């Protein structure tokens, strides 16, 4: 597999119909015409790489969110996207003209999908234009940058969200419902991991200046975020260990990390992430009354799950990005509840990521998490 995108695309199969409690019905069966809502969230995408293409394709099935603009430093990509998605010239920008977004009333929000270490710069730029922002995860290189991004958006009076697509995914939402309702009883243990074998050694994800870090930043955040929604708590300490079997390929970034999170209730979550092998994707939460296992748990789907009562029978698979973007539109346009996808949610993850790296630097020492 050449990249994270290739890996996740291989597990992204099928298109179907769904209607989630508290969220709009966001996709129609192939034989049913797509009916768009009267109110639309008008979206521009910044950074037209692999993931941007996945988001754009999924948005063609949205009923409440519409792709209307692009920001890219590559003119040929802009030309391709204009033709493919019928984007007008007036809604296209490069990185030098992005400030002109402030004069465009036809764009409501910009989705930043540039490499990780550019998120901080680009979110600040978008906030300054007065447009709402959604930023792909990981939100930034560290918690300090994240706080600056949140402050900039607050100062500009714009909304700031993170691309936590799984917070709109049916199996994940059902897990959270079961935990919140008490069906699982007191949570006793969590075991989460996410990783894959990284291919092309020249890709940007292996360059610290663009990626900020390696497997932990890219996909370890899934296991971390999952531990938080499995418990409904914030970790108070972390220990972490790194294994590096290919010091040449992974010279600049981490290869494989295991980490343990301690929660106020006494629960310990055992987590892991890697860039060096496949078949490493699972979420498992055990309570006094039952359990939930998702495997696959974090990829683009279909997600598969089971509980102590048997298989989780969810609606047919819909692209997660379709659910995410329609769900985000419902939040912004109709004031629907936020399922924990704001910049503050991203900050909570980055505080722990910082502690993971600190523990590794200190030889696996227990790091007590300072949320200040």
In the predicted structure, residue 60 carries a pLDDT above the cut 80: yes
Mean pLDDT of the 59-66 span: 98
CA neighbor of 203 nearest in space, from 29, 360, 358, 6: 6
The pLDDT of residue 370? 81
Q: Is the pTM of this model over 0.85?
A: yes
Express each pLDDT in 100-129 by its tens digit: 999 999 999 999 999 999 999 999 999 999
Residue with tokens 């730029």: 125
The pLDDT of residue 371? 72
The pLDDT of residue 372? 64
Q: Name which CATH class applies to 4-165.
A: alpha beta
In the predicted structure, residue 148 carries a pLDDT above the cut 90: yes
In the predicted structure, residue 337 carries a pLDDT above the cut 50: yes
Mean pLDDT of the 293-305 span: 97
The pLDDT of residue 144? 98
pLDDT bracket for residue 328 (50, 70, 90)? very high
The pLDDT of residue 249? 97
In the predicted structure, residue 145 carries a pLDDT above the cut 60: yes
| Window from 19-28, 32-41, 213-222, 307-316 with minimum mean pLDDT | 19-28
% of the chain with per-residue pLDDT over 90? 90
Token pair belonging to 269: 């979550």
The dihedrals phi and psi of 87, each to the nearest 5 degrees, come to: -95, 125
Domain 167-313+343-368 maps to which CATH number in 3.40.50.300, 3.40.50.980, 3.30.360.10, 3.40.50.970? 3.30.360.10
| Window from 20-24, 154-158, 243-247 with minimum mean pLDDT | 20-24
Q: Mark residue 335 as left, alpha or beta (left: phi above 0; alpha: psi -120 to 50; beta: remaining).
A: left
Residue with tokens 């990390």: 257
Alpha carbons 205 and 217: distance in angstroms, whole number:
10
The dihedrals phi and psi of 93, each to the nearest 5 degrees, come to: -140, 155
Express each pLDDT in 18-45 by its tens digit: 334 444 444 444 456 789 999 999 999 9
Per-domain residue ranges of the chain: 4-165, 167-313+343-368
In the predicted structure, residue 284 carries a pLDDT above the cut 90: yes
Mean pLDDT of the 159-169 span: 98
In the predicted structure, residue 137 carries a pLDDT above the cut 50: yes
Express each pLDDT in 166-194 by its tens digit: 999 999 999 999 999 999 999 999 999 99
Q: What is the dihedral of CA 163, 51, 273, 370, to 10 degrees?
A: -30
């Amino acid at each position: 597999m050449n990249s994270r995108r290739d890996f996740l695309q291989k597990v992204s199969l099928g298109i179907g119909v769904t209607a989630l409690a508290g969220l709009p019905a966001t996709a129609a069966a192939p034989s049913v015409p797509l009916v768009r809502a009267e109110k639309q969230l008008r979206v521009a995408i910044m950074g037209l790489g692999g993931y941007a293409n996945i988001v754009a394709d999924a948005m063609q099935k949205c009923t409440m969110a519409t792709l209307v603009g692009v920001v890219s430093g590559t003119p040929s990509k802009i030309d391709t996207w204009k033709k493919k998605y019928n984007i007008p010239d007036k809604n296209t920008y490069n990185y030098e003209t992005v400030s002109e977004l402030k004069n465009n009333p036809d764009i409501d929000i910009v989705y930043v999908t540039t490499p990780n270490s550019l998120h901080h710069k680009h979110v600040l730029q978008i906030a300054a234009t007065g447009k709402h922002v959604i930023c792909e995860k990981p939100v930034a290189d560290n918690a300090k940058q994240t706080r600056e991004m949140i402050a900039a958006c607050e100062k500009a009076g714009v909304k700031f969200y993170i691309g936590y697509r799984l917070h709109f995914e049916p199996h994940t939402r059902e897990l959270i419902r079961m935990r919140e309702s008490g069906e699982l009883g007191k949570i006793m243990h969590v075991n989460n991991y996410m990783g894959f074998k990284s291919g092309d050694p020249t890709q940007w994800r292996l360059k610290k200046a663009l990626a900020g870090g390696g497997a932990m930043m890219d996909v370890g955040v899934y296991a971390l975020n999952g531990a938080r929604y499995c418990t409904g708590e914030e970790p108070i300490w972390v220990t972490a260990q790194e294994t590096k079997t290919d010091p040449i390929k992974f010279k600049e970034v981490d290869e494989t990390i295991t980490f343990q999170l301690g929660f106020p209730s006494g629960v310990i979550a055992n987590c892991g992430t890697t860039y060096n092998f496949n078949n490493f994707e699972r979420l498992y939460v055990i309570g006094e009354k039952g359990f939930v296992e998702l495997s696959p748990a974090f990829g683009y789907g279909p997600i598969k799950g089971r509980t102590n009562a048997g298989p989780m029978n969810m609606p047919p698979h819909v692209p997660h990005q379709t659910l995410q973007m329609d769900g985000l539109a419902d939040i912004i346009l109709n004031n629907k509840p936020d399922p924990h996808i704001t910049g503050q949610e991203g900050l909570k993850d980055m505080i722990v990521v910082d502690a993971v790296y600190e523990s590794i630097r200190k030889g696996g020492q227990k790091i007590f998490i300072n949320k200040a």
